[in-house]
Amino acid sequence: MTIAVVTGITGQDGAYLTELLLEKGYTVYGTYRRTSSVNFWRIEELGIDRHPNLHLVEYDLTDLSASIRLLQTTEATEVYNLAAQSFVGVSFEQPLTTLDITGAGAVNLLEAIRIVNPKIRFYQASTSEMFGEVQAIPQIETTPFYPRSPYGVAKLYAHWMTINYRESYGIFGTSGILFNHESPLRGREFVTRKITDSVAKIKLGKLEVLELGNMDAKRDWGFAKEYVEGMWRMLQVDEPDTFVLATNRTETVRDFVSMAFKASGVNLEWSGKAEGEKAVDAATGKLVVTVNPKFYRPAEVDLLIGNPSKAKEKLGWEPKTTLEQLCHMMVEADLRRNEAGFSF
């Protein structure tokens, strides 16, 4: 029975990856942070919170000694580092906290691997945010990086340290450069889920207007459940490497808004530009979307689109769910939750 550590089990990817590993017969040690009110809603929603092969471990990625003890006590042979301060917007307000967790935190685990068991296979959750001001279209594994946020810079540090530990100490350190991936388990601070949750609330009369920031940003959005399968595949091949996971399709935030309203049966009419942009319900003329500049970022990543050909060739990984299907799934889930009076 393979033993895996998944850091960040309370997050979107941690929950889906744990579900996948349990299905494959793994014993999983899922880490969560001590907070005044720990939230296991995602693993509860997936129905895996009481699985006999799942062990929940209190752990903070910023603590080197805790990282060493985590690997000693669990005797894991695979470590998936999904924990991070992962919200780009917040990283501008908390750059040093983001550096500690998202950047240096990965090195705590790499050091622990070096000390406890250099044979452990390590997955680092790298990101398309490292491409930032993109230097090529579409982006692939060898596209030069140009991060545009403290989050992107911190992730780039962790990415290169993973490669450095691979080259310096022969550690199986693999980095997955994942483009945005979403699901009904996505946090509500991220734009897709903010949109689908708001669409559900507007539909049910619980919210008047959805306020957003930059509507022109283009993202390559895939389905998180498929992306965690790619993470697992990356640790099953013979050699550590770097892989892009993406859909090779990009759409604007505005497109996703229209798609989500359509999924709830509402067609939009757009007008205005930049801060004056808005959308009304085409059937009733009621205002439903406006721009609030407080959601703009000091520096923006305008366009992301990834080419996952290497992952297809070497891992047999391919995205299957379309953006329309994903958006529909998220709107349905948020309608169901809001109707039931429950929405995390």
Interacting residues toward ligand GDR by CB under 6 A: 86, 88-89, 127-129, 179-180, 189-191, 194, 212-214, 217, 219, 253, 295, 297, 300-301
User: What residue number has its CB nearest to ligand GDR?
Assistant: 217
**Cβ neighbours of residue 201 closer than 8 Å, sequence gap 6 or more:** 207, 334, 338
Q: Is 10 in the site for ligand NDP (CB under 6 A)?
A: yes
Map residues 179-218 to x or -, x wherever contact with ligand NDP holds by CB under 6 A.
Answer: -xx-----x-------------------------------
For residues 157 and 165, is the Cβ–Cβ distance under 8 A?
no
Q: Which is nearer to ligand GDR, 278 or 297 (CB)?
A: 297
Q: Is 169 a catalytic residue?
A: no
Q: Is 151 a catalytic residue?
A: yes
Q: Which is nearer to ligand GDR, 179 or 232 (CB)?
A: 179
DSSP code at position 139: B
Query: Smallest distance from the beta carbon of 319 to ligand NDP, in angstroms?
Result: 13
For residues 343 and 197, is the Cβ–Cβ distance under 8 A?
yes
For residues 28 and 22, is the Cβ–Cβ distance under 8 A?
yes
Work out which of 3, 43, 54, 61 binds ligand NDP, going by CB under 6 A. 61
- Which of 16, 19, 26, 129 is flagged as catalytic? 129
The single-letter code of the amino acid at 148 is R
Q: Which is nearer to ligand GDR, 8 or 30 (CB)?
A: 8
Tell me the H-state helices in the chain.
12-23, 41-45, 64-74, 88-93, 95-98, 105-116, 150-169, 191-203, 224-234, 253-263, 309-315, 323-339
Judged by CB under 6 A, which stretch of 77-85, 165-173, 197-205, 308-316 contacts ligand NDP?
77-85
Q: Is 11 in the site for ligand NDP (CB under 6 A)?
A: yes
Q: Is 139 in the site for ligand NDP (CB under 6 A)?
A: no
The single-letter code of the amino acid at 125 is A
Crossing angle (nearest 10°) for helices 224-234 and 12-23:
60
Q: Is 242 in the site for ligand NDP (CB under 6 A)?
A: no
For residues 10 and 40, is the Cβ–Cβ distance under 8 A?
yes
Q: Which helix (H) or strand (E) holds 205?
A: none
Q: Is 318 a catalytic residue?
A: no
Residues recognised as catalytic:
127, 129, 151
- Chain positions contacting ligand NDP, by CB under 6 A: 7-8, 10-14, 33, 35, 59-62, 82-86, 101, 125, 127, 178, 180-181, 187
